[in-house]
């Protein structure tokens, strides 16, 4: 019997690579699970709109579950949605975390509280090799958000390439952005039925981060 799973989905390259690897090994995604701010109707961290999320769901042909919450109820609502995914047939939750221990613990706790197994397909792998794997497999990851302490807004809207990774490293940022230097939105790749249509014309500043408005 094929393993069925729910993906903790942010929109970025790491969770998409984790999804791709699981599909390649024969596992079946029953849903994407993403967290959305109650106040602004966009995802936490990456600032993705419902329209973009729905487009991704259709292009990947995977249903999407929305954990719409404030900070104070983040964990509770996330677990409620994991239970929904479990009712859809998921036996595990898949995360794209690489090597930050407290992120892993948070994911493990949410899974254990809802009776699901947990998987971290990228765990403890080389960060730069992972971002190269994303590029080599043909995924188009657009820089959606940058931390202005590390990188300038000029990086917004650019598609990750190996050349761009070298530019990112020249700012003394991590190649993979694992420390929060930048976040991406994957708009195309081998598991997408069609490319997500985006525009990058403006950006906004929040908490010393610049976010592309798509």
**pLDDT digits (tens), the chain, 214 positions:** 579 999 999 999 999 999 999 999 999 999 999 999 887 778 878 889 999 999 999 999 999 999 988 878 889 999 999 999 999 999 999 999 999 999 999 999 999 999 999 999 999 999 999 999 999 999 999 999 999 999 999 999 999 999 999 999 999 999 999 889 999 999 999 999 999 999 887 899 989 999 998 8
Do residues 132 and 78 both lie within one domain?
no
Token pair 């940022």 is at which residue?
173
Residue 140 in tokens: 């188009």
In the chain, the number of structural domains is: 2
pLDDT value, residue 175: 96
pLDDT value, residue 127: 96
Do residues 93 and 141 both lie within one domain?
no
Do residues 86 and 141 both lie within one domain?
no
Do residues 89 and 141 both lie within one domain?
no
Do residues 176 and 97 both lie within one domain?
no
CATH number at residue 204: 3.90.1490.10
Name residues whose C-beta falls within 8 Å of residue 52's C-beta, 6 or more positions apart in sequence.
Answer: 11, 185, 196, 198, 214
Query: Which CA distances in Å does 67 have to 124, 140, 173, 192?
Result: 28, 26, 30, 23
Residue where a domain stops, chosen among 73, 103, 119: 119
Do residues 195 and 108 both lie within one domain?
no
Query: Using an 8 Å Cβ cutoff, are 53 and 64 in contact?
Result: yes
Residue 184 lies in domain: 127-213
Do residues 98 and 135 both lie within one domain?
no
Residue where a domain stops, chosen among 84, 119, 154: 119
Do residues 132 and 34 both lie within one domain?
no
Coil, helix or strand at residue 166: helix
pLDDT value, residue 91: 98
pLDDT value, residue 1: 58
Do residues 57 and 34 both lie within one domain?
yes
CATH number at residue 107: 3.40.50.620
Do residues 114 and 133 both lie within one domain?
no
Residue 190 in tokens: 């081998």
Number of H helices, E strands in the chain: 6, 9
C-alpha 188/C-alpha 33 separation (Å) is 19
pLDDT value, residue 134: 98
C-alpha 32/C-alpha 56 separation (Å) is 10
Residue where a domain stops, chosen among 99, 119, 139: 119
């Amino acid at each position: 019997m094929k393993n069925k799973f729910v993906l903790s989905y942010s929109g970025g390259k790491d969770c998409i690579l984790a999804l791709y690897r699981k599909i390649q090994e024969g596992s079946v995604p029953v849903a994407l699970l993403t967290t959305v701010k109650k106040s602004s109707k966009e995802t936490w961290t990456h600032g993705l709109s419902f329209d973009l999320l729905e487009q991704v769901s259709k292009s990947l042909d995977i249903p999407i579950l929305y954990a719409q919450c404030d900070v104070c109820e983040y964990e509770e609502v996330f677990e409620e949605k994991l239970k929904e995914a479990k009712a859809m047939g998921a036996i595990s939750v898949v995360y794209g975390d690489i090597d930050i221990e407290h992120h892993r613990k948070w994911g493990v706790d949410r899974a254990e509280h809802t009776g699901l197994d947990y998987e971290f397909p990228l765990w403890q792998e080389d960060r730069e090799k992972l971002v190269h794997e994303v590029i080599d497999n043909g995924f188009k990851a657009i820089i959606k958000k940058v931390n202005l302490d590390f990188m300038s807004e000029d990086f917004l809207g650019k598609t990750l390439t190996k050349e761009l990774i070298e530019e990112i490293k020249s700012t003394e940022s991590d190649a993979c952005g694992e420390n929060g230097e930048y976040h991406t939105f994957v708009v195309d790749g081998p598991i997408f039925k069609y490319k997500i249509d985006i525009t990058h014309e403006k950006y906004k500043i929040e908490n010393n981060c610049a976010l592309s408005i798509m």
